A and B are shown apart, each in its own frame.
Chain A
Amino acid sequence: MTADVGAQMRKGVVEYCVLGLLARGPMYGWELAERLSAEGLIASIGTLYPLLSRLRQSGWVHTFERPSDAGPVRRYYELTDRGVQQLAQFRASWTPFSRSVAGLIADVPPAARATAEGEA
């Protein structure tokens, strides 16, 4: 159950995390995978590409090819205007949402809990 909660939370936000990373500049798949894996948001690069495919289909990102420093041509992902809009709207929703959740699940100090129980 606990593991499912973590997985569900990641699924809900990981696409917007990708948008957030791409808002800093175009990135190629491996770069994205490394950043997201480091943050514990994806377990495998296999998770990333279906997600990128969806974002592309939604019109939130597009791709272009550019030679990398190492030589081979890489496919870079970049935010579209719609992607920028979606990210801005998500930011506006996320901040109050996360604040509310943090407030609701905040640990109650034992003294406060005892007082509340006493009053009840």
Chain B
Amino acid sequence: MTETEAQSLREDYLSRLDGAIAELPWRVANELRSGIAEELDGLDAAAMRMRIAQLGDPVQIAAAAKEETGSAPPAPVVVVTPAPLVKPPMVDTKWFAIVGALVLGAGSFLLPFGGWIIGVGLVTSSRFWRRWEKAVAILLPFAGWAVLYAASLVSKLIWVAAPADGGAINPLLPTAYDLAHSSLIMAIVLVPIGAAWLLWRLRGRETPLR
């Protein structure tokens, strides 16, 4: 008897609910109907009455659903905008720096002097090195040349002074002429060494320094 009464209360309530939600969008109506129907499953008459009282008037439920369906905009989607993918300028790429160092080191062998000038241009344009690093690599050949050239001048003075003193010239010592040429060769050798040092300094740097 209680079970029959509970079933009757359930059917009556759901019937009223069906009438009230008839104008709702089918998706909402279906979700609402099945959600409430499952709440009324398996209850005895007393529990059914209590639950129906908690649920409230089907007309009011439908009105609330209609208001929510009609007025509520979809939940604002929280969008985390990824940082725009900005392609870095060519001079700010690592490969540009590598090419610059290679041209600086080997450019002169392909295009005498001009290749080195181009390499200097590329290296100074890149932001993958600090200023002092660029300065060291570019000026290293000049420094080497200057040191040896200064040595040749000193040697020349010794060479000129030696006969005046009546002493013999030691053939094992390089003459000023030798040292002047050696300084040029040293400068040429130091060019790729400076470039190699720049490449070594590039390790671990994936982005421009400033």
Q: Which residues of A contact B (CB under 8 A)?
A: 11-12, 15-16, 28-30, 43-58, 70-75, 86, 89-90, 92-93
Contact = CB atoms under 8 A, between A and B. Distances in A.
Nearest to B43: A70
A89 B80 contact: yes
Interface residues of B, number: 34
Contact of B74 (A44, A58, A93): A58
Contacts of A46: 32, 60-66, 68
Contacts of B28: 49-50, 53
A29 B76 contact: no
B86 interface: no
B78 A50 contact: no
Where chain B touches its partner, the secondary structure class is helix
A58 B68 contact: no
Interface of B: 24, 27-28, 31-32, 34-36, 38-39, 41-42, 55-56, 60-69, 71-80
Nearest to A54: B74
Contacts of A53: 27-28, 31
Contact of B64 (A47, A58, A75): A47
A54 B24 CA distance: 14
Q: Across chains A and B, which 9 residue pairs bring their CB atoms closest together, nearest first?
A: A46-B64, A72-B41, A46-B61, A15-B75, A89-B78, A29-B35, A49-B32, A46-B65, A44-B64
The interface centre, meaning the residue of A12, A15, A51, A55 with most chain B CB atoms within 10 A of its CB, is A51
A120 to B, nearest CB: 38
Given A44-B64, A49-B32, A58-B77, 17 more contacts: A12-B76, A29-B38, A29-B39, A30-B39, A45-B36, A45-B64, A46-B61, A46-B65, A47-B68, A50-B32, A50-B69, A51-B68, A52-B35, A54-B75, A71-B42, A72-B38, A72-B42
Contacts of B55: 45
Nearest to B62: A46
A43 B60 CA distance: 10
A50 B68 contact: yes
